[in-house]
């Protein structure tokens, strides 16, 4: 993940403290404590060869990567859907693999096609959108929120385009929007209008915790659910990444006490080799802080032999 990446030397100069809750968060969370919110933790891809011998058994074939992934995580941010809408047969195959191997409920959280978000920029995208929605509904009970990730050039002049597009989507389709253009967050009036629109249309907004763009760590909730894309800085900065995760556990605990219902927390690294280590720490801390019992990541014995 290159968005918001900074040089390793500059990481130590960044203030990673989470901002105060946004205005919309204060409106959305009603104060009714949820004792055990649904929590889904995962990565962006399962097809990582560097995880063989780490969390996948030695000699695991690529065809079996999803089988092994589902033994460690209960969700996946399905980036592959951005490049190509998966066929019905492929979705059925993925769904069966996850259902057969997951230790609990497993969710696929597919990204909208780039033809919709980046090529057509939400305009005249009805056909591609319908094709995508028709495909992903094949996940049935294993379908989580869909990620509508817009480019850095998609700015506030496109507010009406965004509004029309969101209002055209099925009301029962869970969608979280990731906006990257600085204009959405720098002006308080625009920001307030955006958050109001998302709440009105029952759509969520992604919080992207990344080193080089602290403005997108906006701490706004537009529905009583949170979708976090957490980007770590790699093994050289493991201590600071772990500390950031611990900050998130504290904030999520507070939100849980105020009515947060669901948590989707996806882990990214610029070098994905390190992602399982970050994920293992995340699950451990969330279990401790949030009073849940998410199965922990298990590493291959050879790693510590």
CB 192 within 8 Å of CB 154: no
Measured between alpha carbons, how far is 107 from 70 in angstroms, rounded to an integer? 10
Measured between alpha carbons, how far is 42 from 73 in angstroms, rounded to an integer? 5
Distances in whole angstroms, Cα of residue 12 to Cα of each of 206, 236, 240: 25, 11, 9
Which pLDDT score is estimated for 305?
46
Q: What does the block give as tokens for 270?
A: 């610029």
Q: What is the distance, to the nearest Å, from the Cα of residue 160 to the centroid of all Cα atoms in its chain?
A: 25
pTM: 0.95
- pLDDT < 70 regions, the chain: 1, 4, 302-305
Which pLDDT score is estimated for 273?
85
Q: What does the block give as tokens for 102?
A: 């997951």
Q: What is the CATH number of domain 24-296?
A: 3.20.20.410
Distances in whole angstroms, Cα of residue 140 to Cα of each of 107, 109, 134: 10, 12, 11
Nearest to 162 by CA among 174, 147, 179: 179
Which pLDDT score is estimated for 242?
95
CB 156 within 8 Å of CB 184: yes
Q: What is the distance, to the nearest Å, from the Cα of residue 138 to the centroid of all Cα atoms in its chain?
A: 20
What one-character-per-residue DSSP string does 242-282 give? Answer: HHHHHHHHHHHHHHHHHT--EEEEEEEESSGGGHHHHHHHH
Nearest to 69 by CA among 106, 18, 33: 106
Which pLDDT score is estimated for 42?
96
Burial classification of residue 298, based on how many CB atoms lie within 10 Å of its CB (0-12 exposed, 13-18 middle, 19 or more buried): exposed
Domain boundaries, the chain: 24-296
């Amino acid at each position: 993940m290159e968005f918001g990446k900074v040089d390793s030397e500059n990481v130590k100069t960044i203030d990673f403290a989470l901002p105060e809750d946004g205005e919309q968060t204060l409106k959305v969370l009603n104060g009714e404590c949820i004792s055990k919110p649904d929590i889904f933790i995962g990565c962006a891809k399962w097809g990582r060869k560097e995880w063989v011998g780490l969390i996948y058994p030695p000699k695991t074939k690529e065809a079996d990567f999803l089988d092994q992934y589902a033994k460690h995580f209960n969700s996946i941010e399905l980036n592959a859907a951005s490049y190509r809408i998966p066929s019905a047969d492929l979705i059925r195959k993925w769904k069966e693999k996850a259902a057969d191997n997951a230790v609990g409920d497993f969710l696929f959280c597919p990204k909208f096609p780039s033809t919709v978000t980046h090529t057509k920029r939400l305009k005249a995208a009805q056909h591609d959108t319908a094709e995508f929605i028709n495909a992903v509904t094949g996940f049935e009970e294993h379908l989580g929120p869909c990620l509508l990730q817009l480019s850095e050039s998609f700015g506030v002049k496109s507010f009406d385009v965004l509004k029309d597009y969101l209002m055209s989507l099925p009301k029962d389709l869970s969608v979280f929007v990731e906006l990257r253009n600085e204009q959405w967050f720098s002006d308080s009036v625009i920001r307030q209008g955006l958050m109001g629109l998302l709440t009105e249309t029952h759509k969520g907004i992604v919080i992207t915790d990344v080193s080089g763009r602290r403005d997108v760590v906006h701490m706004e909730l537009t529905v009583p659910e949170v979708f976090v894309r957490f980007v770590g800085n790699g093994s050289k900065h493991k201590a600071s990444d772990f500390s950031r995760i611990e900050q998130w556990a504290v904030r999520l605990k507070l939100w849980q006490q105020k009515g947060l219902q669901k948590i989707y927390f996806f882990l990214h690294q610029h070098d994905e080799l390190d992602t399982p280590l970050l994920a293992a720490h995340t699950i451990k801390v969330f279990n401790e802080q949030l009073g849940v019992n998410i199965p922990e990541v298990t590493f291959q014995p050879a790693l510590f032999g």
